[in-house]
């Protein structure tokens, strides 16, 4: 018997998390001097969060410490169950150093128990996409070996693209230079970014204007997408609902039968991409 874990950086909505019976490791963020742990949108005031960012507030994110991971994992091991954790990209945070130390401690205390962590190679609903389908397999009775094989294959075939309206937030996170930020914002340059096969964010193109950036993402899906009739297509946005809705219309025009899901970005991811972000997640031939 084992328990399936994810973290709140997968950004599945709290109702979906409950339906799937997932154990969630909540990731921290600080806004206006107060620390919070993201609850998958259940009680989070996302309107206030993005309004605060627009007003100049700079939220902070941080890694979990070893003790918090122990608090999540040990009760499961103590009652004789194993753990399977589908995580966000390990390239995106130092939090996994703390997790590794916690797991090493727990393995000494519970040598007969098993803890597996499989990297989704993405974040936000790119990770959520993998977690969602992994949870369906888990509920169907997949063994840990079967689930690990499935998750690794799905992670390698999950595409996550996104574009941002304002380069200021990517600049703060070290994703673009100060010169690129100023010139890009003045000229309306919108970089299209995606997660590569190692789980790192890379710039794949630069488009003049947000609509062209969305068109580029749609074209990537048209050329790289695979089995989009079998899997959900996910559109994410950070306080950019109007643009996300228009993007969904363009997707439905190309794929009328597609199951297109729209998901709001949470505060941990939103702190880095900023309001005015739209992303696209789909099943692909290759990342």
Residues 76-121: tens digit of each pLDDT: 999 999 999 999 999 999 999 999 999 999 999 999 999 999 999 9
Name residues of the chain where pLDDT drops below 50.
175-187
Please report the pLDDT score of residue 172 as a whole number.
59
Give the span between the Cα atoms of 125 and 122, in whole angstroms.
8
Predicted local distance difference test score (pLDDT) of residue 182: 34
2-27+64-156: in CATH 3.40.50.10440: yes
Give φ, ψ of 26 to 5 degrees. Answer: -85, 125
Q: Which CATH number fits domain 158-283: 3.30.1180.10, 3.40.50.1100, 3.10.450.40, 3.10.20.30?
A: 3.30.1180.10
**DSSP code of residue 235:** E
- Range list for CATH 3.40.50.10440 in the chain: 2-27+64-156
154 contact partners, CB below 8 Å, separation of at least 6: 129, 130, 133, 134, 283
2-7 β-sheet, strand order: 23-25, 2-7, 82-87, 115-119
Residue 177 pLDDT: 39
* CATH 3.30.1180.10 domain span(s) along the chain: 158-283
At 236 the three-state DSSP class reads strand
- Contact partners, residue 248, CB within 8 Å, separation at least 6: 235, 260, 262
pLDDT score at 184: 42
């Amino acid at each position: 018997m084992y328990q399936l874990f994810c973290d709140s950086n997968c950004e599945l909505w709290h109702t979906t998390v409950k339906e799937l019976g997932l154990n969630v490791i909540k990731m921290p963020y600080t806004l206006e001097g107060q620390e919070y742990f993201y609850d998958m949108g259940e009680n989070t005031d996302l309107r206030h969060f993005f309004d605060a960012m627009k007003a100049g507030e700079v939220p902070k994110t941080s890694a979990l410490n070893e003790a918090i991971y122990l608090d999540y994992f040990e009760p499961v091991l103590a009652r004789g169950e194993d753990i399977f954790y589908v995580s966000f990209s390990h390239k995106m945070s130092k939090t996994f150093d703390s997790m590794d130390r916690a797991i090493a401690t727990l393995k000494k205390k519970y040598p007969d128990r098993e803890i597996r962590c499989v990297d989704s190679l993405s974040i936000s609903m790119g990770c959520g996409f993998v977690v969602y389908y992994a949870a369906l397999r888990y509920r169907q009775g997949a063994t840990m070996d079967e689930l690990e094989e499935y998750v690794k294959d799905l992670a390698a075939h999950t595409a996550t693209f996104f574009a941002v309206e304002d380069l200021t937030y990517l600049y703060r996170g070290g994703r673009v230079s100060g010169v690129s930020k100023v010139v890009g914002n003045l000229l309306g340059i919108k970089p299209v970014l995606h997660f590569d096969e190692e789980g790192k964010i890379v710039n794949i193109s630069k488009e003049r204007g947000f609509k062209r950036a969305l068109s580029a993402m749609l074209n990537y899906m048209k050329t790289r997408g695979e089995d989009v009739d079998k899997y959900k297509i996910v559109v994410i946005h950070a306080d950019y609902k109007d643009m996300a809705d228009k993007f969904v219309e363009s997707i439905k025009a190309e794929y009328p039968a597609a199951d297109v899901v729209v998901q709001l970005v949470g505060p941990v991811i939103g702190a880095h991409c900023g309001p005015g972000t739209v992303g696209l997640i789909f099943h692909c031939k290759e990342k």
